[in-house]
Chains A and B, each alone.
Chain A
Amino acid sequence: MEIVLALAIGVLTASGLWLIFRPRTFQVILGLSLLSYAVNLFILAAGRLRSDAPPIVGRDPASADPALYADPLPQALVLTAIVISFATTALLLVVLLASRGLTGTDHVDGEDGEA
């Protein structure tokens, strides 16, 4: 489980980093999205990995042992982070289109170096 998650985070980060260093704006956006997935998984990992454990403590006082439950806080954090990164990515996409329309190229600097 740990190794799968670690590999997933690593692969996502590596691909994301490679993409944001690309010269095309669309690649940069995809890179940022991949990086944000990696970060979200990382936050989940920060709350210790548990599978098959509910994050909500039941009413029964006998079952109120924290060891039986997953940490709910990282899940809440990830939820917030997903919403925020979704919104900013959408905004960046709009700016990308505006930049494409104004400069006529999808190069990140607004001009094609090689051409």
Chain B
Amino acid sequence: MTGWTDHLTVTPIILPLMASALMLAFDERRRVLKRVLSLATAALLIANAAALLWFAGDGGGPLVYLLGNWAAPFGIVLVADRLSAMMLLLTSVVGFTALFYAVARWDRSGPRFHALFLLLLMGVNGAFLTGDIFNLFVFFEVLLAASYGLILHGSGTERTSASLHYITINIAASLLFLLGVALLYAVTGTLNMADLALRVASTDAGDLALLEAGAAILGIAFLLKAGIWPLSFWLPRTYAAAAPPVAAVFAIMTKVGIYVILRLSSLLFGDASGEAAGFANEALLYAGLATMIFGIIGILSARQLTRVAGYYVLVSSGTLLAGIGIGGEALIAAMLFYLVSSTLAVSALYLIIEPVERNADEEDMIAGIAEPVFDDEYVGAIEEVTDEQGVIIPGTIAVLGGGFIFCALLLAGLPPLSGFIAKFAMIDALLNSSEVEPAGWVLIGLIILSGLATMIIMTRAGIDLLWTPGEDAPSRLSLVEVVPIGLLLTVCLGLMLCAGPVMAYLEKTSSTLHQPAHYVAAVTDAPQAGSEK
């Protein structure tokens, strides 16, 4: 890999930034131009991420890009290894489909949607690529600032008041982030992640407590983004308040927190880190399990599908964090598969909820739950059926129903879709470890239980919203809305069909995560441009 391909590592940040800046120059009335520009950018991002995945995966080790050609650790580095490339591809796929969906009508409900959306993609991409902990803070702020704008997109009382909480909590978390960075810098004297990894191993025993305090404070900032219990009460409400395409792309934001935790725990607290090794693994495990329990209860008690999706995001975060807590190569690989599959599925769910609920006229979407369970739950439905003169299934309902079932199967993890493969691989990895700890059994139980809870609520919602003939004629469903949902579900289908190669890639990813020395060596030995090597 030489020449222009070197710059592929920085283009996922530059490209959306430039497109977004360019868009500010045009009037809001140039809508077609903006749509074309932002969709083209998103498509290019997919191609870019796929190329990075290819280069990072062909065995050459992580791609390191020295910004401003300053040698590491003095300058800021961007590092694209297998994990980053995978996350970039996931982000660009989710981003592209959400943008496509937004073109149907959502980008018209407020100004500068496309510019903010691309800035969000830039922030997320930057957070995945950067190898510098303060630069990570800057990209976090970029993605948060864009997300503040997006969550307010469309305005309204609910959105404004939800975003007030969201912004306040995230500013507080950013302050914690800074505190953690300052503590790490005070102890180690560096902000470069690879350099940090080297210095953690040789930290004095006396300074270790300070270092761990810094890492813990930093961790809380990321865990808050990931939606860990008890710091997650803001999440379902905020995501439910956001416009559907915005919520769909927010599904990736919790994964940014997970990614950073995975990255830092691999680099800073891997087996090579001496006394600090394995720091906070137990805390992650128990917090993850608690998040799963909270999420499952939330799923069962939710009365709107958007809330169900929000709680499902929590369950997925909890599963991933508990997985990181237990650790092990096979489990991390399975976990990454679950990460990809669940992000795509939740994203598709957020997109499909709005057309599904458009037909329902009640404020309380899943009506059955508010009614007595035994007396008359199905009375209304049966009466309506007798009124019908034969059931005609219109195209809209068939498409929506099909997509909804697909989503439900994916989320609940029923065979044969990728959700099932992910959960099966996780449980398999847990059972195959030399000795299954009690916490491992609890995790297995909760994984299965969360699938059951999701199935119950999705069946219930499906019956209420889709499969009970209603009085209203089904609303029109535009092709622009169907295509992105279809795309996401097709990607999930592809994940299922190509599970073998995907798992092989993820297993290699996981094994590189367990050998941080490669990452560190790639960063510290990165040749400067223009120098002979």
Contacts and interface: CB of A to CB of B under 8 A. Distances in A.
Interface of A: 20, 25, 28, 32, 35-36, 39, 42-43, 45-47, 73-74, 77, 80-81, 84-85, 87-89, 91-92, 95-96, 98-99, 102-103, 108-110
A46 B152 contact: no
A74 B182 contact: yes
Interface in B166-224: 167-168, 171-172, 174-175, 178-179, 181-183, 185-186, 191
Contacts of B185: 43, 46-47, 73-74, 77
A80 B165 CA distance: 24
Contacts of B161: 99, 102-103, 109-110
A102 B158 CA distance: 9
26 contacts: A20-B168, A28-B168, A32-B172, A35-B175, A36-B171, A36-B175, A39-B182, A73-B185, A73-B191, A74-B185, A77-B178, A80-B134, A80-B138, A81-B178, A85-B174, A88-B144, A88-B148, A88-B167, A91-B145, A91-B167, A95-B160, A102-B157, A102-B160, A103-B157, A108-B164, A110-B157
B181 A77 contact: yes
Contacts of B148: 88, 91, 95
Interface of B: 134, 138, 141, 144-145, 148, 152, 155-157, 160-161, 163-165, 167-168, 171-172, 174-175, 178-179, 181-183, 185-186, 191
A99 B156 CA distance: 9
A96 B186 CA distance: 36
Contacts of A74: 182, 185
B172 A92 contact: no
A109 B292 CA distance: 27
SS of B interface (majority):
helix
Contact of A108 (B134, B165, B174): B165
A108 B164 CA distance: 8
B164 A96 contact: yes
Contacts of B157: 102-103, 110
Contacts of B191: 73
Given A77-B182, A110-B161, 13 more contacts: A39-B182, A43-B182, A46-B183, A46-B185, A74-B185, A77-B178, A88-B171, A88-B174, A91-B148, A95-B160, A98-B152, A102-B156, A110-B164
